[in-house]
Amino acid sequence: MDMPSRRRVLVGAVAATTLMQLGWTARATTLDLKNTAYRVLDMDWHDRLRDRKVPVRLYLPNATDKGHQAPLVVLSHGIGGSRYGYSYLGRHWASQGFASLHVQHVGSDRKIWTGGSPFALVDRLHAAAQEAEAIARVHDLHFALDQALGGEIAHLIDSNRIVAAGHSYGANTTLLAVGAQVIRQGQLLNLRDSRLQAAILISAPPFYGESSSDRILTPIRVPTLHITATDDVIRIPGYYSAAEDRIAIFDAVGSPRKMLAVFTGGSHSIFTDRAGTGGVLLNAQVKNATCELTAAFMHNALGNGEHGLRTWPSRHASILSRFTDSYSL
């Protein structure tokens, strides 16, 4: 489950200021997964300016050992997630040459489920959906990018080819980071990070507390890929979002280069690491198709050619309900 209560506003912030390396600490752990295509690094970063931990997991292509700089995708998890989630995407993206940086948002991570009495779960969900946390999540992405591009792994990353991705609450975080705009107390609040060149939005919910998605999302101009399913319904205590809400987000985004894939059936959590949700067979098929589509989209958006993007809809037609492409190949 990956979305806050409708009682909470998910947008708004002070104008984003790039957080350069103003004091941070990190502990890096290399995990041996016996894979020849990539390796995995867990790093425990700390943003001293905000006194907030920013744990990350990095799937790093081994080609970087030979002097090649990898394009970067930075991923934001949904509510109750962690840096360990969406591992199937991290593994695939790294095998395709992308460094995949999975950011953990400590104010809305898996501690929601385990951090206290089960009777207080609703309160923890509501706290994670507060506007302050929605803002902090975007600053987590800014900070993680600063560390990736200015720290010990900077020489491994191509700073001119960066994509943002997110699932559910993480898709909202991504939308804010690529240019979604809101008005607070008469002032335009802009959290856009100009380093991000494209966005992958999986199961994106509406921005609650806002009357018009068009006004918020029209300013987004980077290429966007939207992925959802016909049964992509969000149900958590105090909150409901119909599958049609994902389509409304796609329609509202102002980018002239956008793409929508809607799988038949499925569920909201089929895009997480959970193996059975949405049906065991369909789950595997959707994950495989999502891996292919997202990698091809990133290659194309970053100027690396078509990479099977044209033929993807026909190859996965049996599990697709809709495919819309206003993306210029």
pLDDT band at 293 (very low <50, low <70, confident <90, very high): very high
The answer to whether residue 315 sits within a structural domain is: no
Kindly report, residue by residue over 38-59, the tens digit of the pLDDT: 999 999 999 999 999 999 999 9
Percent of the chain with pLDDT over 70: 87
Residue 237 counted as domain residue: yes
DSSP string covering 65-132: GGTPPEEEEEEE--TTB-TTS-HHHHHHHHHTT-EEEEE--TTSBTHHHHSS-GGGHHHHHHHHTSHH
Q: Which residue has the higher pLDDT, 93 or 65?
A: 93
Check whether 302 has a pLDDT greater than 60: yes
Is 216 part of any domain? yes
* Confidence grade of residue 23 (pLDDT, cut at 50, 70, 90): very low
Of residues 218 and 14, the one with the higher pLDDT is 218
In a domain, 266, yes or no: no
Q: Is residue 133 part of a domain?
A: yes
| Residue 162 lies inside a defined structural domain of this protein | yes
Residue 281: both structure tokens together:
């067979």
Q: What is the number of domains present in the chain?
A: 1
For 155-196, give the DSSP string.
GGEEEEEEEEEEETHHHHHHHHHTT-EEEETTEEEE---TT-
Q: Domain of 202?
A: 24-259
In the three-class reduction of DSSP (H, G, I as helix; E, B as strand; rest coil), residue 283 is classed as helix
Grade residue 17 by pLDDT with cuts at 50, 70 and 90. Answer: very low
Judge whether 146 lies within some domain. Answer: yes
pLDDT-derived band at 300 (thresholds 50, 70, 90) equals very high
- CA distance linking residue 272 with residue 282, whole number of Å: 13
CATH code, domain carrying 34 = 3.40.50.1820
pLDDT digits (tens, 9 = 90+) for 108-140: 888 887 877 776 677 777 776 778 889 999 999
Residue 90 lies in a domain: yes
